Amino acid sequence: MNVIQVLFWILSAMALVSALMVLLSKNPVHSVLWLVAVFFAISGHYILLNAQFIAIVNLIVYAGAIMVLFLFVIMLMNLNKDTEPQKNIWMKLAGAISAGCLLMILVSLIKQAPELQAKTAMMNEGGIGLIANLGKALFNTYVVPFEISSILFLSAMVGAVVIGKKD
């Protein structure tokens, strides 16, 4: 058990607990704040995997901008307690059972996977996550997906104007 493994377990526990709290907290604003905690924990994981660029982008874009957007959406809604719909207990049970089955299958398969046995984080191994290398890959091999992604942004802009603009 070296430092990296200790960090890995701490971050994993943080991510899981925060993710659970996202679901369990009654107040949606608290959920969003827990989600920010999840993103911080996952950024920690990225750093352990030597994917520094993604770690920073995750913090800037996800924990920063997109979470603000989530908060906006929550504030667009009516947050009074009495408007909260009552959920059917059977629905919850059915959801828990089906999601539990999926979890069981995923865990058992990943436990069997020879590729993944006894692997946690590999600090300082593989340089592809460093900004310089990532930029080289992005602007050479992956330049077509990169340009195509701007179509996605264009349609998102048009969509935002269509949906959000008062007319």
Give the footprint of other proteins on residues 93-132 (CB under 8 A): 106, 109-110, 112-116, 123-124, 130-132
16 in contact with other proteins (CB under 8 A): no
Among 65, 96, 97, 101, binds other proteins (CB under 8 A): 65
Q: What is the 3-state secondary structure (H, E, C) of the chain?
A: CCHHHHHHHHHHHHHHHHHHHHHHCCCHHHHHHHHHHHHHHHHHHHHHCCCHHHHHHHHHHHHHHHHHHHHHHHHHCCCCHHHCCCCCHHHHHHHHHHHHHHHHHHHHHHHHCHHHCCCCCCCCCCCCCCHHHHHHHHHCCCHHHHHHHHHHHHHHHHHHHHHHCCC
Binding flag, residue 82, other proteins (CB under 8 A): no
Report the residue number, 90 or 147, with the smaller CB distance to other proteins. Answer: 147
Q: Write out the residues near other proteins by the rule CB under 8 A.
A: 44, 47-48, 50, 52-53, 55, 57, 60-61, 64-66, 68-69, 72-73, 75-80, 106, 109-110, 112-116, 123-124, 130-132, 134-136, 138-167
